[in-house]
Amino acid sequence: MKSGFVNIFGRPNAGKSTLLNLLMEEKLAIVSPKVQTTRHRVKGILSEKDYQIIFSDTPGIIDPKYKLHERMMRVVKNSLEDADIALLLVDINDDWTLNDEIFMSLNLKVPAIVFINKTDTATHERVKGAVSFFEKRNYCKKAVSISALNTADRGEILNTILQFLPLGERFYQEDELSDLPTKFFVGELIREKIFELFQEEIPYHSAVVVPEYKEKSSLIKIRAEIIVHRETQKAIILGEGGKMIKKLGSKSREEIEKFVGHKVFLELFVKVKPNWRENELQLNEYGY
Ligand SMILES: Nc1nc2c(ncn2[C@@H]2O[C@H](COP(=O)(O)OP(=O)(O)OP(=O)(O)O)[C@@H](O)[C@H]2O)c(=O)[nH]1
Ligand SMILES: [Mg+2]
């Protein structure tokens, strides 16, 4: 039996959350074309007959500008400490040298596999170049080119990881998928729709909390609050005559129903908390 923690690191937008979802064959982590989507560590527990892998998706590595960012980078640091294997993810179209500098600065003490992602968007030559660039690096045990959007790549990715996974017993029950409560995923799915529907600073100035999640016989009743910095942002989220929040509500509800496999009644509220990203108490309250 093999078992261990396999934590995914990389720059924002490299495709870390997409990779977690591919490996889990389940949408556990939210994804968007915008940077800095992920703010938490999201564990995905993959249990098979002869192995258990506890994957962790982490926030993209950045220079922190706000207390929120500092908390996000703390998540990265904690994930570095308990990893058995580090998966370093690079967008093939990103600056390789910059990625390399970041990977070196992590001072990894565990085997690292570099996955060069989004190879569906690059030429064969460029892919070969990236593999040979990274496989020469000291921290890199193996460099593999992948596309996290291509389900056909899942088998090879898993086989590569299994080569480095330590022997050991399971850490979690076989039927556990994650260590986070359903409420967390509900909040994240709403946040994903905020990334999809709103532009510029709005997704970055928003947090979502779920104070109520009640299972009734015929449906699940959920109350969620969207926290923003300013009244003007609240007005944008509400939209003219409440048009936007209605759209956000129905898109979120569809995703949540898919996730929980049940009919959902979702109520959304918008609250203004100036500068919540810099407020320790509010960051605690919102789960960061
Ligand atoms: N073409 C292509 N797009 C991809 C691939 N993998 C991910 N993407 C896209 O890249 C964007 C970013 O993906 P995410 O999974 O959110 O990236 P992330 O690394 O988790 O980003 P942060 O959470 O912001 O750090 C999304 O639009 C994905 O659909 C891939 O293999 N090929
Ligand atoms: Mg992510």
Task: Give mean pLDDT, residues 139-161.
Answer: 98
Angle 79-66-205 from CA coordinates, rounded to 5°: 100
> Does the beta carbon of 182 lie inside 6 Å of ligand 1?
no
Q: What is the mean pLDDT of the chain?
A: 97
* Smallest-distance ligand from the CA of 11: 1
Task: Give mean pLDDT, residues 263-279.
Answer: 97
**How far is the C-alpha of 31 from the C-alpha of 286, rounded, in Å?**
20
Task: Give mean pLDDT, residues 145-156.
Answer: 98
> Does the beta carbon of 148 lie inside 6 Å of ligand 1?
yes
Q: pLDDT per residue over 232-255, tens digit each? A: 999 999 999 999 999 999 999 999
Percent of the chain at pLDDT exceeding 70:
100
207-215/220-228 β-pairing: antiparallel
> Does the beta carbon of 23 lie inside 6 Å of ligand 1?
no
> Does the beta carbon of 58 lie inside 6 Å of ligand 1?
no
Q: Whose CA is nearest to atom 7 of ligand 1?
A: 15
pLDDT > 90? residue 217: no
48 C-beta neighbours (distance < 10 Å), count: 12
| Gap from CA of 59 to ligand 1 centroid (Å) | 12
Inter-residue contact 67 to 83 (CB < 8 Å)? no
> Does the beta carbon of 118 lie inside 6 Å of ligand 1?
yes
| Gap from CA of 69 to ligand 1 centroid (Å) | 19
Q: pLDDT per residue over 21-69, tens digit each? A: 999 999 999 999 999 999 999 999 999 999 999 999 999 999 999 999 9
Task: Give mean pLDDT, residues 270-285.
Answer: 97
Q: Whose CA is nearest to atom 24 of ligand 1?
A: 36
User: Which residues, 6+ apart, have CB-to-CB distance to 243 below 8 Å?
Assistant: none
